[in-house]
């Protein structure tokens, strides 16, 4: 990231770290730099309560606010939220329409939360295909948070990992054609930087709610070494306590990155 990340030094932040109950020698290295979340189960949550699916999405948007605040207070550097996939366009028009109204309304309403907490906003995904109302709110939010140095909160919106990789390969091929780089110069950094997430650290922890054990075309390059945490809780029920449980578990993981345990 271009600006140096500065974790919050507030009393709230200190309390949140304490509430995790990790030992001093575990902290602060035990906190993931980047958390990615697949917020699944809005529809099932709504169905179980006899509501329309849209009510599940609205409840999901509300559930997100305390999670953003907690991640920010814990000193997480990047939080990336799967909000609408390139495949979600195949859902009924009414549901797609609801989500395309909810997103700009959410950005308008929560912009102050980002400003008050020194957060940066980022859109991860394709702009083409998104309604102008959504693009306008994305652009305003990008602009007003661009100088912030705290957590980067990304909405993966009109996002698909394969589409992202195709876009990256095309942009790198163009650079080769332009004589900017040679094919043999292409390395992991070239590819990482060409992705929509370019400049962000790779996710250390991928959380999926609502129990399914799949990746759903989400950040496939970036999660190569991410630790996975799946909970049965539907996204609208996912609370700060669920997140703390995932983080305590993450802190106990032995990440070897393909190497062996030192003797
Ligand atoms: C998956 O649940 C969720 C989505 C496709 C949308 C995610 C959106 C939100 C959490 C709310 C919007 C957030 C913002 C920031 C505006 P699903 O509908 O696939 O649930 P199901 O698998 O139970 O049917």
Q: Can you identify the CATH homologous superfamily of domain 32-250? A: Decaprenyl diphosphate synthase-like (3.40.1180.10)
Q: Which residues are catalytic?
A: 40, 88
Structure confidence by residue, pLDDT tens digits, 22-36: 877 777 788 999 999
Q: What is the pLDDT of residue 2?
A: 56
pLDDT above 70 covers a percentage of the chain that reads 98
Find out whether the beta carbon of 103 lies less than 6 Å from any atom of ligand 1: yes
Q: What is the pLDDT of residue 13?
A: 86
Q: What is the pLDDT of residue 29?
A: 80
Find out whether 103 and 155 touch, Cβ atoms under 8 Å: yes
Q: Which long-range contacts (CB under 8 A, 24 or more apart) does 14-21 make?
A: 16/70, 16/73, 16/74, 17/73, 17/74, 17/75, 19/244, 20/74, 20/244, 20/247, 20/248, 20/251, 21/248
Residue 74 to residue 8: CA distance in whole angstroms: 8
pLDDT higher than 90, residue 259:
no
Residue 182 to residue 179: CA distance in whole angstroms: 7
The domain locations on the chain are 32-250
| Residue 152, phi then psi, degrees to nearest 5 | -90, 115
- Ligand 1 mutation target, pool 46, 57, 94, most atoms within 8 A of CB: 57
> Which ligand 1 atom sits nearest the alpha carbon of residue 83?
7
CA-closest residue to ligand 1 atom 16: 103
The pTM of this model reads 0.96
Burial class of residue 21, CB neighbours in 10 A (0-12, 13-18, 19+): exposed
21 Cα distance to chain centroid: 24
Q: What is the mean pLDDT of the chain?
A: 95
Residue 111 to residue 241: CA distance in whole angstroms: 25
The β-bridge partners of 229 are: 207
Residue 154 to residue 228: CA distance in whole angstroms: 19
Neighbours of 86 (CB within 10 A): 17
**CA dihedral in degrees (11, 14, 17, 22; nearest 10)?**
-150
pLDDT higher than 60, residue 1:
no
Helices (H), the chain: 11-20, 42-48, 53-74, 93-116, 132-145, 161-177, 188-194, 240-251
Distance from Cα 92 to the centre of ligand 1, integer Å: 14
């Amino acid at each position: 990231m271009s600006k140096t990340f500065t974790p919050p030094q507030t009393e709230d932040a200190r309390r949140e770290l304490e509430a995790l109950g990790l030992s001093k020698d575990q902290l602060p290295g035990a906190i993931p730099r980047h958390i990615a979340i697949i917020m699944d189960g809005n529809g099932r949550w709504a169905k179980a309560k006899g509501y329309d699916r849209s009510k599940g999405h609205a409840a999901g948007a509300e559930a997100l606010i305390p999670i953003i605040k907690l991640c920010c207070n814990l000193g997480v550097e990047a939080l990336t939220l799967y909000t609408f996939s390139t495949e979600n366009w195949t859902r009924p028009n009414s549901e797609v329409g609801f989500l395309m109204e909810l997103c700009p309304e959410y950005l308008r309403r929560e912009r102050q939360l980002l400003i008050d907490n020194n957060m940066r906003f980022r859109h991860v995904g394709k702009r083409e295909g998104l309604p102008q109302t959504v693009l306008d709110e994305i652009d305003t939010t990008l602009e007003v948070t661009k100088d912030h140095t705290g957590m980067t909160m990304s909405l993966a919106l009109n996002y698909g990992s394969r589409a992202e990789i195709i876009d990256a390969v095309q942009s790198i091929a163009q650079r080769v054609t332009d004589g900017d780089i040679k094919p043999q110069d292409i390395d992991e950094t070239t590819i990482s930087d060409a992705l929509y997430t370019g400049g962000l650290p790779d996710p250390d922890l991928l959380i999926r709610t609502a129990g399914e054990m799949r990746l759903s075309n989400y950040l496939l390059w970036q999660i190569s070494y991410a630790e996975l945490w799946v909970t049965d809780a539907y996204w609208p029920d996912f609370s700060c306590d669920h997140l703390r449980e995932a983080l305590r578990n993450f802190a106990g993981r032995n990440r070897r990155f393909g190497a062996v345990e030192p003797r």
